[in-house]
Chain A
Amino acid sequence: MTAPGALAPQLRRTPLRRVAGLDRLALAGGVLLALIVLAALLAPWIAPYPDDGGSATHALDALLPPSGAHWFGTDQVGRDVLSRVLFGARTSLFIAVAVLAVSGVVGVALGVVAGYAGGWLQDVIMRVTDVFLAFPALLLSLALAVVLQPSVTTVIVAIAATWWPWYARLTASVAASVATRGFVDSARCLGVPAPLIVLRHVLPNSLTPVLVQLSLDGGGVILTAAALSYLGLGAHEPTPEWGLMVQQGQTLFTTDWWAVTFPGLAIVLTAFAFNVLGEGLRARLAR
Chain B
Amino acid sequence: MTSRETLGTEGVTLAYGTTAVVHDVTLSVGEGGVGLIGESGSGKTTLARALLGLLRPRSGTVRYGSRDLASLGRKGRAEFRRAVQPVFQDGSEALDPRMTAGASIAEALTTHHRMGRRERHDRVAELLGAVGLDPALAARRPHEMSGGQRQRVAIARALAVEPGMLVLDEPTSALDVTVQARILDLLERLTAERGLGHLLITHNLGVVGRLCGTSHVMFAGRVVESGPTGTVLARPAHPYTLALRDAVPRLGGEPPRASGRTEAAPAETGCPFRLRCPYAVDRCRDEAPAPRDLDGRRVTCHRAEEVLSGLAPVAGGERTGPGAPRQ
Contact = CB atoms under 8 A, between A and B. Distances in A.
A183 B54 contact: no
Contacts, number: 57
Contact of A201 (B49, B54, B93, B96): B96
B15 interface: no
Contacts of B77: 191
Contacts of A192: 107, 111
B111 A183 contact: no
A191 B88 contact: no
Interface in A180-196: 181-183, 185-192
Given A191-B112, A192-B107, A192-B111, A183 B96 contact: yes
Contacts of A10: none
B25 interface: no
Contacts of B85: 189-190
A205 interface: yes
Contacts of B97: 183, 205
Nearest to A202: B96
B108 A190 contact: yes
Nearest to A192: B111
B157 interface: yes
A249 B108 CA distance: 64
A188 B78 CA distance: 11
B216 interface: no
Contacts of B222: none
A189 B96 contact: no
Interface string B14-36: 00000000000000000000000
Contact of A181 (B78, B93, B161): B93
B225 interface: no
Interface residues of A, number: 15
A204 interface: yes
Interface residues of B, number: 27
B154 interface: yes
Interface in A218-240: none
Interface string B110-122: 0110000000000
A189 B54 contact: yes
Contact of B161 (A182, A188, A190, A204): A190
Interface string B84-112: 11101110011111100000000110011
A200 B157 CA distance: 16
B93 A189 contact: no
B98 A190 contact: no
A181 B139 CA distance: 22
A182 B111 contact: no
Q: Which of A181, A182, A201 has the most CB of B within 10 A?
A: A182
B88 A185 contact: yes
A286 B227 CA distance: 49
A186 B98 contact: no
Contacts of A189: 52-54, 81, 84-86
Interface of B: 49, 52-54, 77-78, 81-82, 84-86, 88-90, 93-98, 107-108, 111-112, 154, 157, 161
Given A185-B52, A189-B54, 4 more contacts: A183-B96, A186-B95, A189-B84, A205-B97
